[in-house]
Amino acid sequence: SEPQPVSLIQIATADATYLIDTLHKSALFMSVLRHFLVWLLGSTSLHKVFFGFPHDLLRLNMLFGELGPIRRYRAVYDCAERRLQRRHVKLSPPEVPLVQDMLLRAALEEDDDEALLSIADTVAGPQTGAVVEDLKIVDPPGSLQSVVHKHSGVHLDK
């Protein structure tokens, strides 16, 4: 399925969790939300933990349309990325979503907004038997709690 804009954003601190509803909001609300997220994601003093950050960023940017995409982010830790091991495999049609993730990651690394938008519209999968770089999920090096503690010093008790 094609990515859709996020409808709910969750932000958690050591003390509280906040949910932000993004459905059917005014242009002013979305502008303020975008400025807040630009500040939050760009801050080096705040550590952000995601699971599948490239896809999350694409979906976040789909929210803002003419306001423009969020391009800068610092101190972002992607737990999914830490669980991935690279290898070569032959793809078959059911594995096409992995190709989409790889294209999203490459577009983000190159800061290519045009590619991000085109990937959101359509993704052409490889033909059966095409050899591409694939990602395999392996055992994580630790729990989410240990990753957060290692990089930020904060203990999650939730």
Task: List the chain pLDDT tens, one digit each, 158 residues.
Answer: 688 889 999 999 888 999 999 999 999 999 999 999 999 999 999 889 888 889 999 999 999 989 999 999 998 888 887 665 555 455 444 444 556 667 777 777 787 777 766 665 544 444 444 443 444 444 345 555 666 666 667 666 64
DSSP 96-152: HHHHHHHHHHHHHHTT-HHHHHHHHH--PPPPTT-EEEEEEE---SS-HHHHHHHHH
Of 67, 68, 72, 44, nearest in space to 152 by CA: 44
Q: What is the pLDDT of residues 49-59, one digit of tens each?
A: 888 889 999 99
Residue 131's DSSP bridge partners are 90
Whole-prediction pTM value? 0.53
How far is Cα 82 from Cα 7, in angstroms, rounded to an integer? 26
Tell me if 113 sits within 8 A of 58, measured CB to CB.
no
CA angle centred on 53, ends 52 and 56, rounded to 5°: 90
